Structures are given as C-alpha cells and as structure tokens.
Amino acid sequence: METRAGLRLQSAVCSTQVVVVRAPAADVDIRCGGAPMTEVGSRAQGGQLDGAYASGTLLGKRYADDDAGLELLCTAAGEGSLSVGEVTLEIKGAKPLPSSD
C-alpha cells in the first residue's frame, strides 16, 4: 500500500482506525487483526480476526516501526493488533523530558 502522512485507514475485521503520522518512502503492508487495512470510507469490510493478532489497539496511542520509518496514531480503538506484514507494531514510548534542575 502506498502511504503518505495524513492517510486515514480502517480495519476490515474490527473497529480500529488510524492516521499515518510518518510514512516510509517504500510501500508497506499495513495490517490490523491479520487483514490488510483500507482507506476510511471504502466498503472493504468483513473477514475474520486472526487470533495471533488480537491484542487490541488503544485510542490515542502511537504505534511505530522505526526500521520501516512508519508511525501510526490510533483514532478508534479495536480488537485487532497493528502490524506491518507479520511483524506486530509496538506502542511508541513517550520522549523523556529534560531535567529542570
């Protein structure tokens, strides 16, 4: 899938929706619940949630793959886990704030 910053995607197997915050130069296979994600508004729905990708997504959290240069922001939580192909995306940690001492 060709990605660009600002692209809104939805899962075909659960209620998860994300926005691409940082997009890699190459095409990537963004999935949720084991199924490819589609642009918001497309009618491609249905399918079964893969149990191996059913850890869920959390509203407002960022998911990233630094090796691929991909960062997603979850705008609607769901039952499926985000992945690039078969590699599950992890929640991106917060940046440490500088010390005020």
Predicted confidence (pLDDT) per residue in 85-95, tens digit: 999 999 998 88
Global pTM? 0.87
Buried b (16+ CB within 10 A) or exposed e, 67-79: ebebbbbbbeebb
**Distance between CA atoms of 75 and 95, rounded to whole angstroms?**
20
**Distance between CA atoms of 29 and 73, rounded to whole angstroms?**
16
pLDDT score of 39 more than 90: yes
Backbone angles phi, psi at 81, to 5 degrees: -95, 145
Backbone angles phi, psi at 24, to 5 degrees: -75, 165
What pLDDT shows up at residue 60?
95
- pLDDT tens string 52-99: 999 999 999 999 998 889 999 999 999 999 999 999 999 998 888 888
Question: Scanning the structure block, which residue is given the tokens 């589609």?
Answer: 38
